[in-house]
Structure 1
Amino acid sequence: TVEARVVYTAAETGDGVRVLGIEYQVQLVGDEVEETVVNVTNHSYFNLTGNPTIEGTEVSLCTNSYLPVDDGGIPTGNPTAYKGVEANKTFTLGVEEPDIDDCFIVDPSAASSIPLDTRKSPLTKLVTAYHPQTKIHLEVWSTEPAFQFYTGKYIDVPAVEGQAARGKRSGFCVEPSRYVNAVNVPEWKAQVVLKKGEVYGSRVVYKGWSDE
């Protein structure tokens, strides 16, 4: 049995920045097993445009190191450079491109030293996003060593209770986490294996504001 706790903290700074903090804590309780695999994240979508798609959103990632995958989405090896993306350099999301759904690695050199509980680690600004039409800014910070960045190619949500349908590229995701497939890589396995008596933890902070 896994006991998971999620704590949300909302605040607004004096200069109008709205801050949402999320803290995850997971423990293995009960006597069924001695260990299990845990990799906790969330799949929130963001659209800063005020329009049906994310077209025109200006984005930068803190890294261009990612885990290449096979046709089934399973990582095939060590982190490598993502073509077309440079760390901390802004690129614009267009109508169709770039089409991204990959796990980016914050610091590949730290792969084998990630603690099970990262909450005491410093927050890293993973992603910044801005749209010039709405002048809305978003920053995603986390203590986690990786994040999935997804530009929404497969979104297909019907209209529900007066809410408009959501289609392809109607939002983007930033999912702070451990390395995808870490449990199957000996050097990364300790990131995600939770044993009895241990604590898994992480923090995520979202910051949003408008220039208007």
Structure 2
Amino acid sequence: MIIETNKLGIKMEAKSINKPTPVNLAQHAYWNLDGHSSGNILSHKIKLFASSITPVDNELIPTGEITPVAGTPYDFTTPREIRSQIKSAGGYDINYVVDDTGSEHLKKVAEVTGKKSGRKMELWSNQPGVQFYTANKLNGVKGKDGAVYENHAGLCLETQGFPDALNHPNFPSQIVNPGESYVHVMVYRFTVHH
């Protein structure tokens, strides 16, 4: 849904009819703010309003820990280029714990700016986590207008409940009980800065 100028909203809803049901929906759009055929997103600057991650094991399943990003290649609490430490991280595909601002409404999740275009995207959501993914596996994927997408051609910011929450009691519950509703809201705001 379009809301106000330069904003895009996404609302996902689900209801449990007769049994407690785990629900954790995500929206997996790829973004390249310099344009879909402009190469990779490594020069994009990103700030994540998230001071912790939920680390994963070798199978990419969360371990149940919540660890601070300070002093690690996962620290984007101040804006920096994605390429700055991507080699030490091996590419990004991890759930970040969105900082609790105390707001009962939407929390700011991320700010991303394309270096060439000056386009800036801000993301707000009501979810406790965001999966930051840097398209680490793209390899010769044909896209629109004949463009070919290679490794890191786009980035994803998927707001969500924490993955595998069902198996980790310390994670926020993703169970929707009968009569309750799951409501997931994302709002994007786009501006241009030169």
The question of 1:26 aligning with 2:14 is answered yes
- Following the alignment from structure 1 to structure 2, what is the Cα–Cα distance between the partners of residues 78 and 107? 16
CA deviation after TM superposition for structure 1 residue 174, in Å:
0.3
Q: Give the drift of 1:72.
A: 0.3
Q: Give the counterpart of 1:172 among 127, 145, 155.
A: 155
**Secondary structure of residue in 2 paired with 1:45:** coil
On the 8 A contact 2:64/2:170 being kept in 1, the answer is: no
Quote the residue 1:129 is aligned against: 112
Do the aligned partners of residues 158 and 184 (structure 1) sit closer, same or farther apart at CA in structure 2, a change above 3 Å counting?
same
- Does structure 2 conserve the Cα–Cα contact (< 8 Å) formed by 1:27 and 1:196? yes
RMSD (CA atoms): 2.3
Counterpart code for 2:22: V
Separation in structure 1 between the aligned mates of residue 112 and residue 78 of structure 2, nearest angstrom: 11
Report Cα offsets for 1:30-56 as digits up to 9, x if no partner: x6xx22211011101100123121121
Aligned residue-pair number: 186
Aligned counterpart, 2:80:
91
1:143 aligns with 2:130: no
2:194 pairs with 1:209: no
Greater gyration radius: 1
TM-score (norm 1): 0.79
**Cα shift readout 1:13-32 (whole Å, capped 9, x = no counterpart):** 3xxxx100111110123x6x
Q: How does 1:51-70 map to 2 (within 5 A)?
A: 51-70=38-57
Normalised by the size of structure 2, how large is the TM-score? 0.85
1:161 to partner: Cα distance: 6.5
1:96-115 equivalences in 2 (<5 Å): 97=87, 99-107=91-99
Q: Who is 1:74 aligned against?
A: 61
**Per-residue deviation, residues 163-198 of structure 1 (Å, max 9, x unmatched):** 422221000000000011101112336x21122211
The one of 181, 190, 193 equivalent to 1:199 is 181
Question: Structure 2: where are the runs of 5+ without partners?
Answer: none
In structure 1, give the amino acid aligned to 2:15: Q
Structure 1, gaps ≥5 residues long:
1-8, 111-119
2 CA distance for matches of 1:61 and 1:169? 18
Sequence identity percentage: 26
1:37 counterpart residue number: 22
1:187 maps to which residue? 170
Question: RCO (CA 8 Å, sep 6+): is it higher in 1 or 2?
Answer: 2
Measure, in 2, the Cα distance between the counterparts of 1:61 and 1:88: 5
Contact 1:49 1:56 (C-alpha < 8 Å) held by counterparts: no
Structure 1 ranges of 4+ moved more than 6 A: none
